Amino acid sequence: MKHTNAIEDLEQARRILRDMIDAQTATDVAITRLLDTEYPANRFQEDLVSTVLPVVYQVPDDDAIKNRTRHDNRVEDIVGHYYGPNVPKAHRDTAWGALMAVQGWEQHDKATRTPEGQQPRHRAALALQRTVASATSAGYPLASALMGTPLPGLEETLGTDEAGTVRTLAEAVKA
């Protein structure tokens, strides 16, 4: 809605405000569900290496030392975020803590290549809302992979579907 000196369409303004409140409520519910989902640090790290990173990045051969080092550095950096100040101790061992570590790495450490060279990633809070509430990547493919990929480390917590596939965090948030 365009900003004007006078509200011309009060019903449209109400609809927009209701949609904003609904989006905030959905995000709050999603965050609460992620905080309530137990995800021990050791399982998160195993899933990060074996399941999440391979969705976005090619798994390096043992012979490719440069690529192996890059891969190991990614893991180390993400785990550093998990145990760093941006993931409170009370949120570790939860799916929310895992998401904060992955998204924190993507937002603050990872650079993206553009025609102008290395550029920092966009840090909008809206990306978090989109990733959690709608499970779209919103420019953060690793966080999207964490939310949308069946994670073996969460099988006990989230259960499986009729086909025996582990439910995803995105499915758990929408439940």
pLDDT value of position 6: 54
- Residues for the chain: how many in total? 175
Question: Which pLDDT score, from 0 to 100, does residue 20 have?
Answer: 80
b/e 146-171 (16+ beta carbons within 10 angstroms → b): bbbbbbebbeebbeeeeeeebbbbbb
What global pTM score does this model have? 0.74
Q: Per-residue pLDDT tens for 36-66?
A: 999 999 999 999 999 999 999 887 777 777 7
pLDDT at res. 121? 45
Q: What is the pLDDT of residues 100-123, one digit of tens each?
A: 999 999 888 765 544 445 444 444
pLDDT score for 111: 55
